[in-house]
Structure 1
Amino acid sequence: MIRLYDTIEPNVIDEELLKLAVEEQGPQEAAGQVAKQEGINFKDVKSLQLDFQNILRIDNLWQFVSLRKLQLDNNIIEKIDGLESLVNLVWLDLSFNNIETIEGLDTLVNLEDLSLFSNRIVKMDAMDSLVKLQVFSIGNNMIDNLLNVIYLRRFTYLRSLNLAGNPICEDEEYKLFVTAYLPDLVYLDFRLIDAHTRELGDAKYQYSIYELKHRENQIQAKLEEEMATVAELEKHKAAYVEYLNGPFLFDSLYSEDVEAAKLAYLPGVPELLETYKTKFVEICQNIFDYGLVQQEKRKAEVAIFYECLEEALQENRKQGLKEVEDFDKIYTAYLHTIRNSNDIQFVDNKMSECAEEISRLFDRLMTLEMQLVEQLEETINNFERNIIDMVGVFVENVQGLMAQCRDLENHHHEKLLEISINTLEKIVKSEFDEDLPDDVRALFSDKDTVVNAVGASHDIHLLKIDNREDDLITNVTSWCTATVDKVHNDELDRNRKRVKEINQYVDHLQTDLDNMDFGDLLD
C-alpha cells in the first residue's frame, strides 16, 4: 500500500493530498466507502494529519474551518502561514520543520497546545493572540537568551513548557529563572516543578520580579485606561455627540485658520476670544449632555419594542404548539382507527376526514400567523412613529443649539471686525504703538485686506459648525432609517419563514397520509 509520506520531492498541500489524507484518517470499511461516494466536505473535518509529507509551504487549508487538531510535524516547512481561517484550532504540531520565526498565529485565538519543537527559532514572540495557550513545546531550537522567558508571562493559562535542547538550558540558573518568572507553570521540560526549586527561584529573583510586576501593573493600568477611553468614545459616537464634551469643536475652528492666528495679536482680541470660547464650549457641552440623555431614551424605546415583540412571538408560538398538540391527538386516533380496520370504505372515509382535519389545522395555524402579523404590524408602526418622533425632536433641538453656536460666531466676527477696523485707522493715523509681526502688520495695508482676512476666518468657522451639524443629523437620521428598515425586513423574513414552516408541516402530514399502504392495512 502506498502511504502519503512515500515522497521525495518537496510537496505542496493540494486538493488531492488533502482528500487522500482525510480519506485515510476518516471512517473505513462501509462507512468510509459511503463517505468517498458522497464526497468529503472539508469544512466538517475536525482533525487532519499531514506529517512526513515533505511539505515546504502550508497552503489550501482555508476550507477546514472546523478543524481542531492539525499535525504538520516532520516536514520541511520554513514559514508559518496559511492558517488564518483555522480559528477553531485547539492543537497544532509544527515540530521537526525548518521554521526560523514565530508568525502567522494571530487568528488562532482558541489554541491550547502548540508544538514548535526542533526548528530554528531564536526568539519567542508574535504569539499575543494565543490567550488560551496551556501547553507550549519549543525545545531543540536556538533560543539563547533567558529574557525570552519573560515574554511568556502574558499567557496566564500556560502550565506546561518545554525548552529542553535550547542554549539557554546550559545556564546554571535556567530552572530557577523560569520557575521564578513563570509562577503558574506546573511542568518544565516534561517534569513537575518541585516546591524546593520554586522557593529557590522566588528567593533569588524576588527583587527583579517585584520591579517587573510594578512595570506590568503600570502597563496594565494604562491599557485599561486606554480601553475605557475607547469604550467611552464609542458610547459618545453611539449618541452622535463625540468630541462635543469639551473644546474639541471650538479648537477645530481655528486649527486651519491662518488669518485668525494673525488677528489674535491685536489688542483686545485674546480677551474676546476667551469669552467666545467659554460660551461656545458651554453650548457644545449642552449638546453633548442632551445627546447622551436622548441616546438612553432611544435605547429604552428599542428595548421595550423588542420585549413586546418577543412577548407576542412567545404567545403565538404557545398557541401554535397547542394547536399542533391537539391535532396530534386527533391524528394519532385516526391512524390507530385506520390501522385496526379491515373495511376499505370505512378506511377511505376516515382518511378523508383526517385530510379535512389537516386542512383545518392549516387554516388555524395560518389564522394565528395572520393575527400575529396584524398585531406586529401595529406594534412596528407605533415603534416607527415613536423612534422617528424622538429623532426628529433630537434633531430639532440640536439645530437650535447649533444656531446658538453660529450666533456666537457672528457676534465674535462683528467684534473682531470692529477691532480690526479701529486698528487700521490707528495705524493710518500713526496712533498705533503696539509691536506686530510683519505678516500681521501686512494685513493692515488697506481696508479691503483687513475685511477679507476677518471674513475668511469667519467663513472657515461657519463651515466647521455647519459640517459638524450635518454629520450629527446625517448619522442619527441614517440610524433611524436603518433601525426601522431592519425591523420591517426582519418581520417580513419571519413571516415568510413561518408560512413556509406551516406549509411544509402540513404537506408532510398529507404526504404521510396519502402514502399509507392499503395492502398492509388489510393484512
Structure 2
Amino acid sequence: MAALISTDDEFDQDDNKENEPRVINYTCLINLITQQAPTGEAGRLYHEDGIKLNEIEEIRIEFLRILKIDHLWIMTNLIKLSLSHNKIEKIENLDALVKLCELDISFNSIKIMENLNCLSKLEVLLLAGNQIDTIEGIDNLKNLTIFSIANNKIQGWEHVLYLRQFKNLRSVNCNGNPCTLQENYNDYLIAFLPQIIYFSYSMVREEDRARAMKIHWRSIVKIEDDEAKAQVALKEEHALKKKSAIDSAAFVDHLDDDELFLLSFLNDKEGTALKNINDDTLAVFNEYKKNFSIVCHELYQFGIEQHSLREKEIEIFSVVVEEARDAVRDEARRIIDSIEKYKNESFAKFNIGIKEFDKKLDAKSAIDQTDLPIDVKIAKIQNFTENFNEFLSSIWTKLVYSEVVLHEQIEDVNETFKLNIADMKDIFVESVRVLFSRMRNILVEYRDTIQRVVVSHLNDFTEDELKIPSQFIDICGDINILSNTLASSHDIHSQIIDSREDEIISAVNKWFNDLVIRLRKYENSRHRRRILEISHVVQYHRELLHKHILTDDEALDVVAALER
C-alpha cells in the first residue's frame, strides 16, 4: 500500500487547533491518511481492507505546525517522508525507518544534525531553511546522493572535506549560508568534491572544475595522500579485527605473539631482576623466551588449522541438512498443490451434481407435485464430505510421515555430526595439553639452568672475597634465598600457564556443548512448527469444505435435516 499524504489548514480547522504546535501521534497519522484516501469504489475497498500503517511507503506531513517527531516507528516500510514547513526542533525517533530513502525536514527549527546515522539507505536528505551551523552526524549515509542544506547558519568550510567521504554524492546545495559569501568558496567546493555533478542545482561545468582544481592542486594532492594512508590504515584495522575474530573462534587468541610469555613476568619482579644479573643469565632468559615462543606459535598454528577443519565440517553438515529439508519442502509443496487441484475438481463436480439433482427435483415436482426424498441429497453430501475428508486425512498422513522421516534423518545426521565434532574437539584438547606440558618442561629447564648460572656467579664472589651487589642480596644473597626466589618465580609462571590451558579447554568444551544444544533445540523447534503448519493447512481445507457446503441454500436445509 502506498499513500501520498498532503495536508492543508483544513485539518487544523477541523481540530480547532489551527495555530497550536503538536506531536505526531497515531490519531494524527490515521486522520491524515483517511483524509487523503481514494474516493468511490477504490475508497470503499481501501477502507474495507483497513489502514495498514506498516505498509505505507510515502507520507507528506506539511503545514500542521508539527513540533515533535513521534509514532513513525509504526511505518516500517516508509521510503519517502516529508516533514517540511513545520516547527520541529529536534531530529528524533527515526530509528525504525530502516528503508527510508528520502527525507525532507526543510523549513523547521532544527539546530543540530543528529539521529540520522540509523538511516543507512537514505539517498536524499533535505535540510534547507533550518538553523544548523555544523554538518555532522551522517557518516553512515554512504548512499547519500542529493544533499541540500541551503539557508542555514554554516560559516566555516570544514563541511567540504567532511562531504568527500560520500562517494555517491551528486548534488549539493549550500546557498544562503554565510560560508557561500566568502571569496573562492565555490571554487573550493567543486575542487574538493569531484564526485558532485550539480552544485546549487546547476550543473558544474568541466572548465570551472578544472580551473578550481588547478588553484587548489597542492592541497588536493596532500588530502588525497592523507586519504590513501587512512584507507590503508582502515584496511589494516579491518584485517586485524578479522584476524582477532578468527583467533578467538579458534581459542588461540594472542598466542602468535609474546603476550603469554610477557604476562608470566608481569607480576614476577624477582624473576625479572634475576635475569638481569649478568650476560649469562640474560642469555638463558632469551633462550627460554625463544623456546617458549616456538611452542606458543605451534599451538597457534594448530588451533587455526583445527578451526578451519571444524568450519568445513560444519559447512558440510549444514549443506546436507539443508538439502534434506529442501527435498521434503519441495515434496510438501507438490502435495499441497494436489490439495488445491483435488479441491477445485471435487467442488466443481459437487456443484454440478447438486444442480442436476435440483433440476430432477423441479421436473418431478412439476409432473406429480411430489418431492424426491431429501435423504438422496443428504447421501450425496455425506458421500462428498466423507471422500474429501478421507483425501485430506491421506494428505495429512503423507506430510506428517515425510516430516517425521526427515526429523529422524536429521537427528541421525546431528548425532553423526556431534561425534565427528567431538572427535575433533578431543584431538584439539589433547594436543593443547601436550603443548602446554612442553611449556611447563621448558619452564622447569629454565629454572634449573638459571639456578646453575646464578650459583656459579655467587661462587665467583666467594672465591674472590667480593661482596654481592646490594640490589641482588634479597633475591640471591645465598643458596636458600635463591631457591626461594626461583620457587616463587616458578609458581607464578606455572599459574599463568595452567590458567591459560584451563581457559582454552573450558572455552572449546563450552563451544561444543552450546553447539550441540543449539542444533537440537533448533531441530526440535522446527519439527514442532512444521507439524503445526501441516495440521493448520489440513484444517484450513476442512473449513473450506464446510463453508462451501453451507453456501448452497438447499444444503442449509439438508444440514438442518441432518441435525434433526
Contact 1:91 1:111 in 2 (8 A): yes
Give the alignment's Cα RMSD to 1 decimal: 3.1
1:272 to 267, 278, 284: 284
The one-letter amino acid paired with 1:129 is N
Displacement of 1:163 after TM fit?
A: 0.7
1:132 equivalenced with 2:143 (yes/no) = yes
1:456 equivalenced with 2:488 (yes/no) = yes
1:414 to 438, 444, 448: 448
- Alignment partners' CA distance in 2, 1:164 and 1:74: 18
* Cα 1:258–1:5 shift into 2, 3 Å: farther
- Alignment partners' CA distance in 1, 2:60 and 2:334: 51
- Alignment partners' CA distance in 1, 2:382 and 2:440: 85
Matches within 5 A, 1:202-217: 202-217=213-228
- Alignment partners' CA distance in 2, 1:403 and 1:360: 64
Which residue pairs with 2:153 in the alignment? 142
Contact 1:250 1:281 in 2 (8 A): yes
Which residue pairs with 1:292 in the alignment? 304
2:293 to 241, 256, 281: 281
Secondary structure of 2:313 counterpart: helix
Which residue pairs with 1:477 in the alignment? 509
Displacement of 1:274 after TM fit?
A: 0.9
TM-score, scaled relative to structure 2: 0.83
User: Quick check: 386-395 or 409-418, which moved more?
Assistant: 409-418
Displacement of 1:426 after TM fit?
A: 5.7
Deviations 1:372-420 (A, max 9, x none): 2222221111111111111111111111111111111122223334444
1:348 to 368, 378, 382: 382
The one-letter amino acid paired with 1:166 is N
Displacement of 1:188 after TM fit?
A: 0.8
Contact 1:69 1:91 in 2 (8 A): yes
Contact 2:328 2:402 in 1 (8 A): yes
Displacement of 1:187 after TM fit?
A: 1.0
Matches within 5 A, 1:431-510: 431=465, 436=469, 438-445=470-477, 449-510=481-542
Secondary structure of 2:216 counterpart: helix
- Alignment partners' CA distance in 2, 1:424 and 1:5: 100
1:195 to 206, 220, 242: 206
1:358 equivalenced with 2:356 (yes/no) = no
Contact 1:62 1:84 in 2 (8 A): yes
* Cα 1:109–1:256 shift into 2, 3 Å: farther
* Cα 1:514–1:84 shift into 2, 3 Å: closer
Matches within 5 A, 1:322-337: 322-326=334-338, 328-337=340-349
Which residue pairs with 2:165 in the alignment? 154
- Alignment partners' CA distance in 2, 1:19 and 1:260: 76
1:251 to 256, 262, 280: 262
Larger radius of gyration: 2
Displacement of 1:240 after TM fit?
A: 1.4
* Cα 1:26–1:237 shift into 2, 3 Å: farther
Displacement of 1:21 after TM fit?
A: 4.5
1:378 equivalenced with 2:390 (yes/no) = no
- Alignment partners' CA distance in 2, 1:457 and 1:32: 85
* Cα 1:425–1:21 shift into 2, 3 Å: farther
User: Quick check: 455-464 or 295-304, which moved more?
Assistant: 455-464
Contact 1:177 1:205 in 2 (8 A): yes
1:242 to 229, 253, 257: 253
- Alignment partners' CA distance in 2, 1:452 and 1:470: 27
Matches within 5 A, 1:13-32: 13-24=24-35
Contact 1:175 1:197 in 2 (8 A): no
Contact 1:5 1:52 in 2 (8 A): no
Contact 2:270 2:475 in 1 (8 A): no
Displacement of 1:238 after TM fit?
A: 1.7
- Alignment partners' CA distance in 2, 1:13 and 1:427: 89
- Alignment partners' CA distance in 1, 2:112 and 2:380: 81
Count of residues in Structure 1 that have an aligned counterpart in Structure 2? 521
* Cα 1:237–1:208 shift into 2, 3 Å: same
- Alignment partners' CA distance in 2, 1:328 and 1:103: 53
The one-letter amino acid paired with 1:273 is F
* Cα 1:511–1:13 shift into 2, 3 Å: closer
The one-letter amino acid paired with 1:373 is H
TM-score, scaled relative to structure 1: 0.89
* Cα 1:118–1:427 shift into 2, 3 Å: farther
Displacement of 1:295 after TM fit?
A: 1.1
- Alignment partners' CA distance in 2, 1:7 and 1:88: 32
Contact 2:476 2:485 in 1 (8 A): no
- Alignment partners' CA distance in 1, 2:152 and 2:556: 79
1:390 equivalenced with 2:424 (yes/no) = yes
Which residue pairs with 2:370 in the alignment? none
* Cα 1:10–1:260 shift into 2, 3 Å: farther
The one-letter amino acid paired with 1:349 is N
Q: Which runs of 5+ in 1 are unaligned?
A: none
Contact 1:11 1:56 in 2 (8 A): yes
The one-letter amino acid paired with 1:286 is E
* Cα 1:352–1:472 shift into 2, 3 Å: same
Contact 1:21 1:49 in 2 (8 A): no
Which residue pairs with 1:400 in the alignment? 434
* Cα 1:417–1:35 shift into 2, 3 Å: farther
Matches within 5 A, 1:79-90: 79-90=90-101
1:306 to 318, 322, 331: 318
Secondary structure of 1:106 counterpart: coil
1:123 to 122, 130, 134: 134
Which residue pairs with 2:197 in the alignment? 186
Q: Which runs of 5+ in 2 are unaligned?
A: 1-9, 358-375, 558-564
Deviations 1:173-197 (A, max 9, x none): 2322222211121111111212332
